[in-house]
């Protein structure tokens, strides 16, 4: 019954067009709900004699190989399933497994179930398994005496079992989907963090649009920089660190890596009728030291949950690839809008910094541009300070060609600050996370094309002032 109500809710929301954040595209909230919860047609099978006698009622079958790393990784989830679901579970090891491997597996991963070896591969053939790990829900089949005779199969051996569900390959995060489909109320088992796979089955459009955000690759960002062992970095680049069901350090294949749905919507998401405001979550991570002058107005348009609806598959793939190559735009880096005033205006109060800058290559950057290049906007844009923040100017009047790369190229526009200095009307950078914020400011000019062997810490040292 509850299932039906939820499907109806979803349909109503779609019909009502649902309240939407300004700037977000049109889409369907939880468009996949009906499909996710729909019953599937059981598939008749026969089971080999090694397995058949054990299946006397609806049963979970876990098909695995004791030496396969993926099977080992999903074991905590299989054990959790056994505790939470009211069905017997039988392990079936692939034909090549030996008893000692199975014993060792059971010991190491605390398997709570008995295992039968599929010695003649009869089980794999019966269910059409090509890989491990898989989970099946099977039950004895009650043949319908009134069913019409099928002329193609009437003289074949009967198929006394049926597969109700198959999860192949079974990956981490799938347990929540299995539980959800078996329960009367799909959210009955939603406790703590359940992971993106479950959310994505129902919230299809939101999930695709999430996949093309930087959030989806936040852990990868640390991984390629070999920073995943540092909990001080990891905590904002994963979901629910240290909380129930949330990320645990070192678990690189966890569904809780990166900034997923539940980072913003809270563990399990809001399905109890109480709406929580996910936009309250941003500043927990986008604080002053990890995001330049973050505001909701700036941030929300870039997490548009339906942005992908208007894109082709090729465009989606390109966006994901651009993010992983570090070439996708980082819109949050934008300095607050406003005119710059020029480095000379900073001199009176910041004498030491000004002296350092004067001697450094940055202030001489325009001298590198000789001949026509000195008026070539394609060169000037990285060799001079913009006259105002905002979209790059299209002609020379948009740049302070007399000062090269000045204070405001890195600290943002300082007109208001120079007139009435406070710490709030200039981008300080002193406490900023070098990797999260400062490096991106530098690499907006120090691109691979112009600075092949860019390296953050030595460059930062070189500009210390
Ligand atoms: C079984 C399908 C299903 C799954 C799984 C599911 N949702 Fe939902 N979700 C819905 C439906 C249907 C609605 C709209 C009706 C409602 O609020 O119950 C919804 C509503 C929402 C809303 C909007 C609520 C509001 O009040 O504005 C958010 C946010 C949300 N889900 C997040 C999540 C997250 C996060 C997950 C994973 C932890 C998740 N959902 C998993 C079906 C699902
Ligand atoms: C759990 C921490 C966390 C939360 C909560 C969070 N973010 Fe982020 N956000 C990040 C991290 C980390 C990155 C950088 C990811 C990367 O590129 O590796 C990021 C990147 C982004 C980016 C793209 C990067 C850029 O420079 O433009 C946008 C836009 C963004 N977040 C908006 C938001 C908004 C809006 C919210 C709240 C609705 C939010 N974020 C909540 C951690 C978080
Ligand atoms: C308080 C939360 C927080 C912590 C702690 C944190 N980050 Fe971040 N990180 C963010 C946010 C938010 C962004 C996106 C900033 C933006 O674009 O405005 C980000 C962005 C980044 C990026 C840029 C990604 C890109 O697309 O180029 C890198 C690299 C990064 N962080 C590395 C680190 C490292 C290394 C550490 C540890 C020293 C760390 N982060 C600690 C929140 C955090
Ligand atoms: C960076 C934070 C963030 C992440 C990650 C995120 N959301 Fe949201 N989501 C929001 C914000 C902000 C809103 C709009 C305000 C609100 O409804 O709380 C929203 C709205 C929604 C809504 C209501 C839709 C609407 O149009 O009002 C649903 C449903 C939802 N999110 C599901 C998801 C799912 C599923 C995922 C993961 C695939 C996800 N969200 C990931 C921040 C986030
Ligand atoms: C995307 C930003 C960017 C653009 C566009 C750019 N430069 Fe540069 N340029 C740099 C950076 C960064 C350096 C410093 C590289 C280093 O020292 O590692 C540099 C250094 C130089 C140098 C001195 C070092 C060398 O490589 O010889 C010259 C000369 C130069 N640029 C000329 C040009 C000309 C001419 C153009 C236009 C055709 C141009 N630049 C466009 C960023 C840029
Ligand atoms: C190439 C980029 C760049 C330029 C140009 C630059 N700065 Fe900085 N500035 C930084 C960075 C990065 C930091 C913080 C890290 C550090 O201390 O090196 C910083 C730190 C500072 C601080 C200390 C902030 C604090 O919170 O402790 C002041 C003050 C400052 N700069 C002023 C200036 C002035 C004035 C100029 C021009 C005369 C200038 N900067 C030019 C990048 C720059
Ligand atoms: C009239 C004097 C004055 C002028 C002119 C001035 N500043 Fe400042 N600046 C200050 C004072 C005072 C502070 C310390 C503010 C505080 O901590 O409340 C400061 C702080 C800063 C900081 C550090 C902010 C932080 O978060 O701690 C930076 C960066 C900075 N100034 C850059 C500049 C730049 C760039 C210019 C030129 C565009 C400039 N200042 C012009 C007086 C000035
Ligand atoms: C507006 C573009 C721009 C920004 C932003 C920028 N740079 Fe540069 N940088 C240049 C250019 C252009 C040169 C070449 C100057 C020359 O050689 O005349 C340069 C040269 C340098 C040099 C000396 C040459 C070398 O490669 O050793 C260092 C060090 C440096 N930058 C560090 C930084 C750091 C650190 C940041 C960020 C905090 C930064 N830059 C931000 C454009 C920029």
| Contact of 126 with 47, CB cutoff 8 Å | yes
Residue pLDDT, tens place only, 357-405: 999 999 999 999 999 999 999 999 999 999 999 989 999 999 999 999 9
- Distance from C-alpha of 114 to C-alpha of 93, rounded to nearest angstrom: 10
Nearest-Å Rg of the Cα atoms of the chain is 29
CA 407 / ligand 6 centre spacing (Å):
7
Count other C-beta atoms under 10 Å from residue 249's C-beta: 15
CA–centroid distance, residue 333 to ligand 5 (Å): 22
Question: Going by CA atoms, what residue is nearest to atom 31 of ligand 5?
Answer: 368
Assess whether the C-beta atom of 268 lies below 6 angstroms from ligand 1: yes
**Six-digit token string for 305:** 């949950």
CA of 330 to the centre of ligand 1 (A): 28
Q: Verify whether ligand 5 is closer than 6 Å to residue 431 (CB atom).
A: no
Q: What is the pLDDT of residue 116?
A: 97
Q: Count of residues for the chain?
A: 465
Write the burial class of residue 63 (CB in 10 Å: 0-12 exposed, 13-18 middle, 19+ buried): buried
- CA distances (Å), 447 to each of 10, 46, 176, 451, in order? 46, 61, 43, 6
218 lines ligand 4 (CB under 6 A): no
Alpha carbon 317 to its chain's center: 15
Q: Which of 417, 407, 357 is nearest to 386 (CA)?
A: 407
Residue nearest to atom 37 of ligand 1 (CA): 199
d(CA 287, ligand 8 centre) in Å = 26
Q: Is 463 in the pocket of ligand 6 (CB under 6 A)?
A: yes
- The whole-angstrom separation of Cα 307 and Cα 291 is 23
Contact 400, 342 (CB under 8 A): yes
What pLDDT sits at residue 86?
93
Index of the ligand 1 atom closest to the CA of residue 268:
38
What is the b/e burial string over 311-338, where b = at least 16 CB atoms within 10 angstroms of the residue's CB? beeeebeebbeebeeeebebebeebbeb
Ligand whose nearest atom lies closest to the CA of 383: 8
CB 408 within 8 A of CB 340: yes
Query: Rounded distance, CA 312 to CA 88, Å?
Result: 44
Per-residue pLDDT reduced to its tens digit, 245-302: 999 999 999 999 999 999 999 999 999 887 789 999 999 999 999 999 999 999 999 9
Predicted local distance difference test score (pLDDT) of residue 145: 80
Question: What is the model's pLDDT at position 8?
Answer: 41
Q: Which residues, given as ranges, of the chain have pLDDT below 70?
A: 1-20
Choose the residue to mutate in 343, 409, 426, 431 for probing ligand 7, maximizing ligand atoms within 8 Å of C-beta.
426
Please, how many CA atoms are within 13 Å of residue 353, restricted to the half-sphere of its CB? 13
Q: Which of 271, 102, 250, 259 is nearest to 176 (CA)?
A: 271
């Amino acid at each position: 019954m509850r299932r039906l109500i939820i499907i109806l809710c979803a349909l109503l929301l779609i019909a009502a067009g649902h309240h939407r954040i300004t700037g977000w595209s049109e889409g369907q909230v939880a468009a996949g709900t009906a499909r996710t919860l729909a019953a599937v047609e059981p598939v008749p099978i026969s089971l080999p004699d090694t397995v058949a006698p054990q299946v006397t009622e609806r049963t979970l079958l876990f098909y695995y190989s004791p030496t396969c790393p993926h099977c080992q990784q999903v074991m905590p989830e299989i054990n959790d399933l056994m505790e939470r679901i009211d069905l017997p579970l039988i392990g079936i090891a692939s034909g090549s497994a030996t008893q000692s491997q199975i014993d060792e597996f059971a010991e190491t991963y605390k398997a709570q179930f008995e295992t039968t070896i599929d010695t003649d591969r009869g089980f794999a053939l019966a269910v059409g398994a090509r890989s491990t790990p898989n989970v099946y829900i099977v039950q004895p089949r009650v043949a319908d005496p009134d069913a019409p005779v099928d002329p193609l199969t009437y003289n074949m051996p009967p198929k006394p079992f049926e597969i109700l569900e198959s999860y192949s390959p079974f990956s981490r995060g799938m347990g929540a989907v299995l539980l959800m489909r078996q329960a009367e109320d799909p959210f009955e088992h939603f406790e703590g963090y359940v992971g993106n796979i479950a959310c994505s089955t129902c919230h299809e459009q939101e999930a695709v649009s999430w996949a093309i955000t930087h959030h989806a690759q936040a852990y990868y960002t640390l991984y390629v920089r070999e920073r995943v062992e540092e909990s001080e970095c990891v905590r904002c680049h994963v979901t629910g660190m240290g909380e129930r069901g949330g990320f645990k350090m070192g678990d690189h294949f966890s569904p809780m890596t990166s900034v997923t749905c539940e980072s913003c919507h809270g563990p399990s998401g809001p399905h109890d009728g109480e709406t929580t405001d996910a936009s309250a979550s941003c500043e927990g991570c986008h604080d002053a030291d990890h995001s330049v002058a973050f505001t909701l107005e700036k941030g929300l348009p870039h997490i548009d949950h339906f942005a992908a609806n208007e894109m082709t598959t090729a465009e989606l793939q390109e966006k994901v690839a651009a993010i992983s190559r570090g070439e996708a735009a980082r819109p949050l880096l934008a300095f607050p809008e406003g005119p710059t005033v020029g480095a000379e205006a900073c001199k009176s109060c910041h004498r030491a910094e000004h002296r350092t800058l004067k001697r450094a290559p940055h202030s001489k950057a325009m001298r590198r541009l000789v001949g026509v290049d000195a008026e070539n906007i394609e060169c000037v844009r990285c060799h001079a300070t913009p006259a105002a923040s905002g979209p790059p100017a299209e002609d020379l009047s948009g740049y302070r060609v007399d000062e090269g790369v000045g204070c405001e190229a890195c600290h943002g526009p300082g007109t208001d600050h120079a007139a009435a200095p406070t710490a709030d009307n200039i981008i300080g950078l002193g406490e900023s996370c070098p990797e999260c914020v400062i490096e991106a400011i530098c690499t907006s000019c120090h691109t691979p094309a112009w600075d092949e062997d860019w390296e953050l810490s030595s460059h930062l040292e070189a500009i210390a002032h």
